[in-house]
Amino acid sequence: MGALPVYRWRLAPDGYATRRQLRANGLRPGGQPVAAELQRPRRRRGPLVAYLYRVDLAKPVLPMTPARQAALAKANRARRICPQCHTDAGYVIPAALGTCVPCAYPTPPTHP
């Protein structure tokens, strides 16, 4: 396989789109390989890279089935359960904390 075509940021030709752009149009890459790259130069680091896919080879997004919806709801519910106190925090527990806020920052007992 040869090298991918590289385009400068915002200068990609029509017919190419990023994953987000495809999704905004109700499409998905559908197993096709990356067709091109966008590169945005940065001063102190390597270029910012975005991968492009061909729009004509993209497939429609698969519809949400009841089973997929139930699995997604179960996964989101699990993200709300604190692994330490086993209660529903009422919000998605931050990965940086790993536990709900009261477990991560317990209040010290106050002495009179």
The residues, ordered by sequence, that sit 6+ positions from 48 with a Cβ below 8 Å of its Cβ are 9, 39, 40, 42
Please state, for a pLDDT cut of 70, what percent of the chain lies above it.
97
Residue 94 scores a pLDDT above 70: yes
Residue listed under structure tokens 């497939």? 59
CA 6 – CA 104 distance, rounded (Å): 46
Which pLDDT value is given to residue 2? 62
Which pLDDT value is given to residue 107? 84
- Does this model's pTM top 0.75? My answer is no
22-52 residue pLDDT tens: 999 999 999 999 999 999 999 999 999 999 9
